[in-house]
Each structure stands twice: as C-alpha cells, then as structure tokens.
Structure 1
Amino acid sequence: MKWLYENWFKSTIFLAIYVLIFLFLFLFQTNFSLFLIWLQFVIYLVHQFEEYVLPGGFLEFLNKELLGSAESDFPADKKFSFWINIPIIFVGYPVSAILSGYIDLSIGIWTAYFSIINAMSHVGMFLKHKYNPGFFISLFLNIPVGIYTIYYFVSQNLISLNSHIIGLIIGLLVQGFVMMLGFKVLKPTIKDN
C-alpha cells in the first residue's frame, strides 16, 4: 500500500488522456449527455494532477495554510490523500457514470455539482491565500464544464428537478464530509501533537 500512497496521483494525467480518447471515440457523438457525465471524471483527474503533480503541493498548502500546522506533511499525509481521493474520484465518479449509462442518467449528475462546489472552495481559498494547487483547473475547467453540464441537462429536460436537487445535496454532502475531515478530525490533532 505504501507504493500506492506515494504514487497514485502520478496516474491522473495518463488516465485522463486515456479516458478522454475513449469518450470522444465512443460517446461524444452517440450519447452527449453521458459524455458530459464521464467528462467530470476526466476533468477531476486533471484537477488532481494540478494539486499533486504539476505544480503539486496541495498537501503542504492544506497543512500549513488551512490547518495551521508547522509541518508540510502533518496532519494530512499521502495516505490521507489516497483514502479521500480514491473512493470519491477513482471509484465514485466512474461508478456513477457507468450506472448513468445502464440504469438512469440522473445517477451521475452529482459529479457535476460536486465538481463545481469543490472548485468554488479553491476559488474561495484563492481570495484569502492567493494561488493554491488545483485553482487553475477549478477556474477554467471544473466550474465552466460543471455549469455547462447542468445547463445542458436542464435545457434538454434530461432529468427531473428532484434529481438535480438530490445531485446538489449529494455534492454538498461529499464536500461537507471532506471539509469535516479536515477541520474537525485533522486540525485538532495538531494541538495534540
């Protein structure tokens, strides 16, 4: 597991390119709404690439700037990062997209809402701390593509209003969970250390 903790994020750009090629080959012209759901996954992989690889440094930013730690790798470390990102992004996004294709399109809309909500937190951090790893992809991809996806789904009447509300609530809950882990679970450990 240690190797995965140290290296999972290095796969993000390659996986993003690979999935994007398949999306354009097999979904772009045949099922544009499903393409948009899958695109949330691709964009989030690129977002993670900015956070952890180029320029990287999100964990140090989180620890020092947001949590107030003197250490760059405490309390949030690569193991913590792995267990936050893998279930939500590497599992939750593609499983939701697969279920959107096979069961109901509405299952994946939460990914667009979460992408926007999470990206807005990066914009908020920028206002206080200036650049933070993940900011540029948030501003130029997560937010506009997320908004366009929701707009497209609304304008084409693809899913019900209730499905949008549920998607928004799920997006808020996931973001709330991530923030709760940071500020209610990790931050208190700094005082105990």
Structure 2
Amino acid sequence: MQKFIQRLLLSHFYVDIILFIFSSCLLLIQWDSLSIDHRLAYGLYITMCLHQLEEYRFPGGFVWGFNKMLFNSDQPDRYPGNRLSAVFVDIFAMFLAGPFLYWHYTPAMAMCFALFAIIEVLGHFMFGILALRRYHTQGKETIYFPGSFTSWIFFAPLSIVLIHELVSTSLMVANQWWWAIGCLIAYFIIGFAWPTFGFINRDTPYIYDEEPREGFYFKKFTNEK
C-alpha cells in the first residue's frame, strides 16, 4: 500500500502538466463563447498548474522552506509538512475546482478563485520576508520564495482584474458573496487544515527525497547538514 501511495504522489508533476494542457486547450477553443470573467478564471486555474510546478520542481523547495521558515524544523523535508499532505492539498484543490470551471461556472466560484489567488500572493510575500531575514547573510537579496514568480506575475494581476470585472458588472450579488466566502472557508478547513495537520508525522515515509532536498533555490543559501 505504501509503495502504491508513493507512486500516486509522484504523479503530482504529471497531473499539473495534463491539467495545464487540457485547460489551456479548452480556453482557446471556447474563447469566443466565454465571458471576460470566465476567461480570467481559466487564467487563474492555469496559473495554479504553473504555480505548483514552480513550488515543487522549478526551482522547488516550497515544503522545505515552509517547514523551515514557519517552524524552524530540524527535518524540513518531511516535518511538519510532507509530500503526502502537500500533494493531497494541491490535487484536491485542482480536482475540486476543475468541474466548476469547465461545466458549472458561476461568478461566485470565480470570486472564490480570485480571493484564493490573493491569499497566495500575500502568503508568498510573507514567506519571502521570513526567508530574506533568515538567509540575507548567506547572500539572499530578494523576497523571492518558491512560487513567488507565478504569484506576482500572474495571480496578482489576474485576480485584481477578475474582482474588478465581477464587481463592476454587478455579477456579485449578496448571496454570491456569501457562497464564495463560505466555499473558501470550507476549503481551508477540509482541503488544507485537515490534511496539513492530520498527516503530520516525524517518521512519515512520504518525504521530499529528491536532491537537493532544499530545492534548487534554497540550496545556494544553506550550508546546513
């Protein structure tokens, strides 16, 4: 069973690639029939695919940095965040949001996407400041943190324009706001907090064991063994 789960977790990279290609093709094929807000929602979803690739592969090291910056972990490749919790959170979000984007689109869901993206931008800004404070003496000069590029270059402008579009066209009536905020809160409880804290285990076999363990970005600032 453990070996099977390991294989599933390693599929994270391919899931992001497949969803990126599939969503990009749908967006381009349906472009003329989509509203502006729907196109922007597609843009945020596609960006999330790239965002996850940046966090875990190019340059990678997000979980390592998360564990180190927030918890000063002595096992940042596995504790408290690990591959199982990270992949569950990300894949759950993508598979949950996909059907609403493709077949059951609503302005409330688009607002949910936009607010989530704003949280990502603010979160990576905070992580970047913590990393700069920790590693500035080792040569770190910016507040970049794995995932920051896609957050700043794509999430920030797309989410701001989407919120403006939804509000200026009066697509967000009172019940739509409550639905969007309620779904976002439910996701953070069920899709983020529960797996993040529920899968904490110092002896977990589900670690980020690719080399370098810190990811290619943090490797140049760390001499820790």
* TM-score of the two chains, using structure 1 as the length reference: 0.81
Task: Report deviation, 1:179.
Answer: 5.7
- The aligned counterpart of 2:121 is 119
Q: Which one of the candidate residues 26, 29, 40 is aligned to 1:25?
A: 29
Q: Which one of the candidate residues 123, 140, 159 is aligned to 1:146?
A: 159
Gaps of 5+ in 1: none
Q: After superposition, where does 1:72-111 map in structure 2 within 5 Å?
A: 72-75=76-79, 76-88=81-93, 90-98=94-102, 100-101=104-105, 104-111=106-113
Aligned residues: 184
AA of the residue aligned to 1:107: M
AA of the residue aligned to 2:9: Y
- The aligned counterpart of 1:54 is 58
By relative contact order (CA 8 Å, sep 6+), the higher-ranking structure is 2
1:5 equivalent to 2:9? Answer: yes
Task: Report deviation, 1:107.
Answer: 3.5
Deviations 1:145-179 (A, max 9, x none): 11111111112222314313432343355346636
The change in CA–CA distance for 1:173 and 1:85 in structure 2 (over 3 A counts) is: same
Q: Which one of the candidate residues 121, 128, 133 is aligned to 2:146?
A: 133
CA RMSD across the alignment: 2.5
Gaps of 5+ in 2: 132-142, 203-225
Conserved? CA contact 1:120–1:143, under 8 Å? no
Instruction: Find the structure with the greater CA-based Rg.
Output: 2
Conserved? CA contact 2:63–2:76, under 8 Å? yes
Task: Report deviation, 1:133.
Answer: 0.9
Matched-pair identity in %: 21
Task: Report deviation, 1:65.
Answer: 1.9
1:160 equivalent to 2:173? Answer: yes
- Secondary structure of the structure 1 residue equivalent to 2:67: helix
Conserved? CA contact 1:93–1:108, under 8 Å? no
Q: Which has the higher helix share?
A: 1
- Secondary structure of the structure 1 residue equivalent to 2:47: helix
The change in CA–CA distance for 1:112 and 1:16 in structure 2 (over 3 A counts) is: same
How many Å separate the matches in 2 of 1:150 and 1:99? Answer: 21
How many Å separate the matches in 2 of 1:10 and 1:142? Answer: 22
